[in-house]
Amino acid sequence: MKQKFAVQLYTLRNECAQDFPGVLRELKGMGWAGVEFAGLHSYSAEEIAEVLQGTGLQTAGMHVSFERLNSELESVLTEARRLNTSTLICPTVPRELRNEEGFEQFHAQLNDTAKKIQPGGFTLSFHNHAFEFETIINGKNALEYILEPSADNAVLAEVDVYWVAKARQDPAAFIRLYSHRMPTIHLKDMRDDESRSFAEIGTGVINFDPILIWGEGNGVAWYVVEQDVCQGNPMDCVKLSLTNLHRIAERLGEDL
């Protein structure tokens, strides 16, 4: 399982803006197996691919905005090939589409794009927040609507367990809908206080045991840690998350 732990680089956006190659090298030194991209900070895909090759870091996927998927799809696919990934993820719904009609339009376009890139070996997933649970479409919340596990829906899941918990849902139960439809999953913990804010893995209230056990049996290729806001140094935060994930993996090892 340890070879499936990656970090979403949005967590380290300020550090990457200062020294992107240096951050990647430091992450490999910490023991991360992969990274999930959220932009290249003015570097070319070729330059970053060279750093990845030099460190041995793998690409767990790429977050690509809905707008860019619609306007620069061929450029996105070229970038993905150079970074050696076939996993694309739309990270959010544009604010102007966060209503019933908008979610329907969003899903239709995302599904069309997902089907368009399938012949090239690419997949397109959707990463959630908590607001999708607030809108009901055809008797389902908007997230379940977007991720409907049906043959006609090519949009895969990148469930973010923190945001599911933030919406007062059980993450371990929610993900069961998406067996072999979730190549990557987002892990982040939740502080045990009134703020219910972001926390390093293993320091909050989310139980990751059933999530990881389910993932190992249901097609998850990468467990991606993202911490939107860090109280301390973000590099120290991701290091603590990885240390605790390794401890969980070692503890669960005999049962997997």
Residue 197 is predicted with a pLDDT of 97
Give the residue ranges of the chain where pLDDT is below 70: 254-256
**DSSP string for 64-119:** --HHHHHH-HHHHHHHHHHTT--EEEE----GGG-SHHHHHHHHHHHHHHHHHHGG
The CATH number linked to 31 is: 3.20.20.150
> What 3-state class would DSSP assign to 6?
strand
d(CA 243, CA 136): 39
Residue 253 is predicted with a pLDDT of 85
Span 36-55, pLDDT tens digits: 999 999 999 999 999 999 99
The closest alpha carbon to 240, from 251, 232, 229, 252, belongs to: 232
Query: Are the beta carbons of 231 and 12 closer than 8 angstroms?
Result: no
d(CA 17, CA 26): 15
Span 105-115, pLDDT tens digits: 999 999 999 99
> What 3-state class would DSSP assign to 138?
coil
Q: How crowded is residue 119: how many other Cβ atoms within 10 Å of its Cβ?
A: 7
Residue 205 is predicted with a pLDDT of 98
Instruction: Print the domain residue range for 102.
Output: 2-255
Query: Are the beta carbons of 153 and 190 closer than 8 angstroms?
Result: no
User: Based on the structure, what is the number of domains in the chain?
Assistant: 1
Residue 233 is predicted with a pLDDT of 97
Residue 21 is predicted with a pLDDT of 98
Q: In this structure, what DSSP letter does residue 147 have? A: T
> Which three-class secondary structure string do you get for 194-232?
CCCCEECCCCCCCCCHHHHHHHHHCCCCEEEECCCCCCC
